[in-house]
Structure 1
Amino acid sequence: MAVSKCTRLNGPLIKQMLDSVDSVLFDCDGVIWRGDQAIPGAPDVINLLKKNGKKVFFVTNNSTKTRKMYADKLALMGFNAAEDEVFGTAYCSAMYLKHVSRLQGKVYLIGSNAMRQELEKVGIQQTGVGPDPISGVQIDWANVPLDPEVKAVVVGFDEHFSYMKLNRALQYLNNPDCLLVGTNTDTRLPLEGGKAVPGTGCILKAVETAAQRQAQTVGKPNHFMYDCVASQFGLDRTRCLMVGDRLDTDILLGSNCGLKTLLTLTGVSTVADAEAHQESGCPKRLGMVPDYYVESIAELLPALQG
């Protein structure tokens, strides 16, 4: 479709756009739900897309839930969703280590129980989940006991992140053959009322800084998350739509992978943000300009019901 970027999607253009895609990838928080509440109309949009023959997938940088936990949450909110349609960074990290890195050994995991479960589901053992209290003095820290079977450090969201965990990651990564993998680089997690808390990107940056290494990340905007979906479901990127509320993760993922992109204004980014990127002329920032935007994905309903 020959249209300018950052086009307001409405009227006949909605049906035209939907007819041009076979598969739709949705970010979750800020797009189909906020916290524990579905965005009004979102379950109907998802369910009608499927009824109309579209493939629907859920892609999230949140590493604190397994695929099953997400599928259960979706079902509770009234979404018709299967576990194998959910692609979170806990699962994608496991896929990366198993099928790309072909890891032979254990993982030192700075992350959640959900990440541990997804790793163990594909046969990868881990150490590190939970608190790691500090003791001794600096020379003790530099000689902290290490598991010789650990061949990778994996960093996700970890509410127990500490100086000792950072130190232990550094000691493992002093071995140049030890891999460093991160779930995502989001530095802030926006909350209701304009509040925010530090995101995984802050933890990952600390580990990268200490180890003087750069991590391979698997979450949005890295193309690996799309590759995970495409390899399992045989997607045609020219007939895929990425729907998200963040320009720097969701929309950039779509641009990086050659997908059509739709920004919804129920989450983080604004039209003004997108227009600023468009006017910058900077190639990287232009990748954060969506093809289309809507106030809410509920605006797709009339075209789907018609």
Structure 2
Amino acid sequence: MLKHFLFAILSFLVLFMIGVFAYRDVKAEWKDYQVTYNEKLAKVVNDPTIAKKPLHVEQIWNNALNRADRCTTCHAGIGNPAFANEPQPYKTHPNLTGYMSKHPFEKVGCTICHEGDGQAVTVEKTHGVVHHLDRQLRTAPTVQGSCTKCHYDLYSETVYWPEVPELMKGISLARELGCGACHTIRQLGTVATLAPELSSVGSKTELAFYLVHDFSKVVSKEHTMRAWEFEHFKDPQKIVPGTMNAANPKDRIPPTIMPNWGLTDDEATALTVFVMSLRDLKVEAIPRQYLPKVASHDSFLQYRN
């Protein structure tokens, strides 16, 4: 009798779980976005049949970059100029006829620049702070820091790209404030020993960064590299006050020697973008065919850590 009862309970649980998964598949949120996009597109091209298109998960598979991006499942209008004035997630990608014309979605994908989880198809898992991810989603302006994965000539004093203003401002500020006097920053050609090397900060995983940084003074609820760097630039002494009052002498760490520059939010943001742009090219491992032809082999070796 007991065996029959347990069997019935387990059978019910199995059927219940099957029902839950079936419901989640039928009511998947990406389907709502795709239906809305198809309806909008049908009106734009005056073709009602488009509104009835079968729904499916879109995927850009890039073997060379070893990435599978499903972002266009919801962001279906990124390559359609007619959707320039639409809200997200239907909106056309910025600069579609500018720099994006040299970075076609079918070749580059999405997460090579925006990072995050390219295989997820829910808002929470793609646009929220997902702590198990190696790298959080990068939107404007921090996504500008991804350009240096390939375009490492951006650190040259003779190069200026108006498409990445925060990154350009951050590089300029780093030189102006003399960050290289204390930090080794190979991209700027500086070698120093007073403070940690910054040359590969942007290639660290969120976990690697979290394990060696104290977030107890960070106000933001997002305990991410981006949040820590921004608040650190705004008030270094607040974020790194040291632990000189620790009972155990071995646990005593002096406060930061970094000056408080009294930076504005815009300046702190620019420096955050700059620091997150500093890459270890061996970690990024971008295939040679993706690197711009203007980049010489010598300049490539210069920034390899």
Give the number of the structure whose residues are more often helix, by fraction: 2
Greater relative contact order, per chain length (Cα 8 Å cut-off, separation 6+): 1
TM-score of the pair, normalised by structure 1 = 0.23
Instruction: State TM-score, norm by structure 2.
Output: 0.23
Larger Rg: 2
